[in-house]
Structure 1
Amino acid sequence: MLTVDFDKLGVQPGQRALDLGCGAGRHAFELYRRGADVVAFDQDVAELENVAAMFAAMHAENQVPDGASAQTVTGDALALPFPDEHFDCVIAAEIMEHIPEDERAMRELVRVVKPGGRVVVTVPRWFPEQVCWALSDEYHQVEGGHVRIYTAGELIGKLRDAGLRPAFHHYAHALHSPYWWLKCAVGTHNDDHPLPKLYHRFLVWDLMKRPWLTRTAERVLDPVLGKSIAIYLGKPGAASAGA
């Protein structure tokens, strides 16, 4: 399930791309499929081992273009182990809401992007997230959990202050908002409750089958109930010669 619209992002084969806070690797895998030279970056070593195994499987099954590369790197988003102006594209999906020093992480993100490069940042949207926090303390009061709720204006302002130029944004995953509201209402660890269990089965079915009715419904509902906001930005300037 992708939050980023890769057609809008416009990543090209051979470009260097960073998936910052890659988690299970969903966006890194799509970057690899599109021929980018991908770095999947996270602080979770075990998660990165699974991502590396999937990269290897994708290569073995000829799911990626010739010349594309992929690697995993462990580290801290506040001190990225990459040179200045190294990447053509950076994705930071559902990570900034976890970082107490988010503005410092944003500055690091900007540092490693080339002038003229593209960035997309996604976070939980203000309204659906407010409902989750109101329904459940355990939803966010956990180690490594969400430490803030962004408004669109606040997040865009922070990214602009860090040195990026906002281009456009959209919302995603409207059908997932009710699922999380149900989870928060009955207990986020109550996996046997019939309501969220049944709704989860519906989400899996929708993901696998992608029927036109639910795809159309989600497109209509995303501006109102979308669980995430995705903001697309550029780093001002032109790429240096030979970059």
Structure 2
Amino acid sequence: MLTVDYERLGAVRGDRVLDLGCGAGRHAFESARRGCVTVASDRDPDELRAVTDMFAAMDDAGEIDSPDDQQLGHAVVADATALPYPDASFDRIIAAEVLEHITDDERAIAELARVLRPGGTIAVTVPAQAAERVCWALSADYHAPAVPDGHVRIYRAGELRAKLAAAGLYVSDSHGAHGLHTPYWWLRCLVGPHNDQHPLVQAYHRLLVWDMTTAPPLTRTLDRFLSAVLPKSTVLYAYKARAHEAVKPVAEPVGAAHAA
């Protein structure tokens, strides 16, 4: 299940893509499928071993069409606040559901800006403010300090945009995502976020899996509606200006009331 719209990100075959905080690798795998030279980066070496194995399996299965016989998928253990890459290393960057876990998010954003080439684009996703506030209110076990590496903040309206701009990254578009997942997480927080065996949680999870695997019109329409009015995630797309370019103010996109 992807959160980022690759058309808005602008990723094309041959681009160098960093998936920061890649987790299980969903965006990294999609980037590689599209022919991008992809670095999947995370602090958790166990997650990255699984990502490396999946890259190899995708290559063996012919799911990756490598330009010029390059290896498209790489997994690298890295700290978001001190990235081990030279300046301007990447054409595109994805940072999906990671900044809310980082205490010094401004330093992480500065690092992302540093390794993005001028003219490159970045997609940043964070939990949407309204849905996240309900999760925090329903369960202390949902967020830090109760949970190691848990959520350390709820981004206020405009806060993430301002932090990106301070690092030289200018938001060009935004949208909500995964509206169908908002009630699911409220339910999980209500019964206990680690209570995966609760019958209502299992039933809702089956619904989500069914939706992702079959994409029926009813649930797809409902997800689009909820993503517009009560998204689980906010997605911001930003670019790094070239040295000779003047940055123009960007009109507030539709749905910006839900942006972080």
Which TM-score band applies after superposition, normalised by the shorter structure? over 0.9
- 2:105 is aligned to 102
Q: 1:116 touches 1:238 (CA, 8 Å); kept in 2?
A: no
* Structure 1 position 192, deviation (Å): 2.1
Q: Quote the Cα distance in structure 2 between the aligned partners of 1:133 and 1:197.
A: 21
Q: Identity rate of aligned residues, in percent?
A: 56
- 1:164 is aligned to 169
Q: 1:23 touches 1:47 (CA, 8 Å); kept in 2?
A: yes
- 1:185 is aligned to 190
- 1:150 is aligned to 155
Q: 1:132 touches 1:181 (CA, 8 Å); kept in 2?
A: yes
Q: 1:168 touches 1:232 (CA, 8 Å); kept in 2?
A: yes
* Structure 1 position 238, deviation (Å): 6.4
Q: Quote the Cα distance in structure 1 between the aligned partners of 2:40 and 2:184.
A: 28
- 1:89 is aligned to 92
Q: Quote the Cα distance in structure 2 between the aligned partners of 1:14 and 1:118.
A: 15
- 2:208 is aligned to 203
Answering whether residue 219 of structure 2 is matched by residue 218 of structure 1, we say no
Q: Quote the Cα distance in structure 1 between the aligned partners of 2:74 and 2:26.
A: 14
Q: 1:106 touches 1:159 (CA, 8 Å); kept in 2?
A: yes
- 2:8 is aligned to 8
SS at match of 2:158: helix
- Listed as ranges, the matches of 1:19-58 within 5 Å are 19-58=19-58
Two-structure CA RMSD over aligned residues (Å): 1.2
SS at match of 1:138: helix
- Point out 4+ residue stretches in structure 1 off by more than 4 angstroms: none
* Structure 1 position 221, deviation (Å): 1.6
Q: TM-score, normalised by structure 2?
A: 0.90
Q: Which runs of 5+ in 1 are unaligned?
A: none
Cα offsets for 1:15-64 (capped at 9, x unmatched) = 10000110000000000000000000001000000000110011111111
Aligned length: 239
Q: Quote the Cα distance in structure 1 between the aligned partners of 2:195 and 2:109.
A: 35
Cα offsets for 1:80-122 (capped at 9, x unmatched) = 0000011000000000000000000000000000000000100
Cα offsets for 1:173-228 (capped at 9, x unmatched) = 00101011001101112222211111111111111111011111111221111100
Q: Quote the Cα distance in structure 2 between the aligned partners of 1:62 and 1:190.
A: 38
SS at match of 2:136: helix
Letter in 1 for 2:217: W
Q: Quote the Cα distance in structure 2 between the aligned partners of 1:219 and 1:33.
A: 25
Q: Which runs of 5+ in 2 are unaligned?
A: 245-260
* Structure 1 position 76, deviation (Å): 0.6
- 1:66 is aligned to 66
> Which of 178, 194, 199 pairs up with 1:194?
199
* 59-68 vs 144-153, which moves further: 59-68
